[in-house]
């Protein structure tokens, strides 16, 4: 009897967990945007490691900074793991780092070696990383090239410009995103 009560209780907890999970189309719009605009093998900085399964589902041809478990990045490169955490959480980051957030990401998160080396041009973020999002747009290094109710994608500019607007109009193509400033 005790076993059946435990199983029923566990089944209820599991059912509640499943009911609270994101649906199968969560991040679909962002995933579709990346599939149209990012090149195969390109490094995508994702602000949350647990977004990786859905990102990988939509775009297995892309490379992601962190996935499945943040410990993998920590084991591979402690400095990069700590930098990724500080940047994406948006706390314990210096004003100088915020002011240079684009190059800080682009120059540290790369895939490949030599002439094949490709560094991050895009950051995928959910809407829970508000500090990161605000730092990025305030820095003048990012354009928001895609946004919907679930996520946003920011493109790192080649040069620092004026602060990017918060919304370029939803699912803008790269050439429709806010242009980089002349600063």
Kindly report the number of other CB atoms within 10 A of residue 47's CB atom: 24
User: Do you know the residue count of the chain?
Assistant: 183
Q: Quote the pTM value.
A: 0.78
Percentage with pLDDT > 90 across the chain: 60
- Cα 40 to Cα 152: distance, rounded to the nearest angstrom: 20
List, in sequence order, every residue forming a beta bridge with 63; answer none if it has no partner: 43
CA angle centred on 172, ends 111 and 183, rounded to 5°: 70
Contact status, residue 132 vs residue 97, Cβ threshold 8 Å: no
The model's pLDDT over 118-131, given as tens digits with 9 standing for 90+, comes to 999 999 999 999 99
């Amino acid at each position: 009897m005790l076993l059946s009560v435990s199983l029923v209780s566990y089944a209820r907890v599991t059912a509640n967990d499943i009911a609270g999970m994101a649906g199968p189309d969560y991040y679909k719009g962002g995933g579709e945007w990346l599939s149209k605009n990012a090149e195969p093998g390109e490094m995508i900085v994702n602000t949350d490691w647990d977004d990786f399964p859905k990102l990988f589902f939509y775009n297995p041809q892309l490379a992601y900074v962190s996935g499945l478990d943040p410990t993998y990045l920590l084991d591979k490169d402690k400095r990069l793991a700590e930098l990724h955490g500080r940047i994406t959480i948006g706390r314990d980051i210096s004003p100088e780092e915020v002011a240079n957030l684009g190059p800080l990401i682009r120059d540290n998160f790369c895939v490949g070696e030599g002439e094949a080396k490709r560094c991050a041009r895009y950051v995928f973020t959910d809407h829970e990383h508000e500090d990161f999002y605000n730092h990025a747009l305030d820095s003048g290094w990012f354009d928001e090239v895609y946004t919907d109710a679930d996520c946003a994608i920011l493109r790192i500019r080649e040069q620092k410009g004026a602060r990017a607007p918060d919304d370029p109009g939803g699912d803008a193509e790269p050439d429709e995103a806010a242009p980089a400033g002349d600063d």
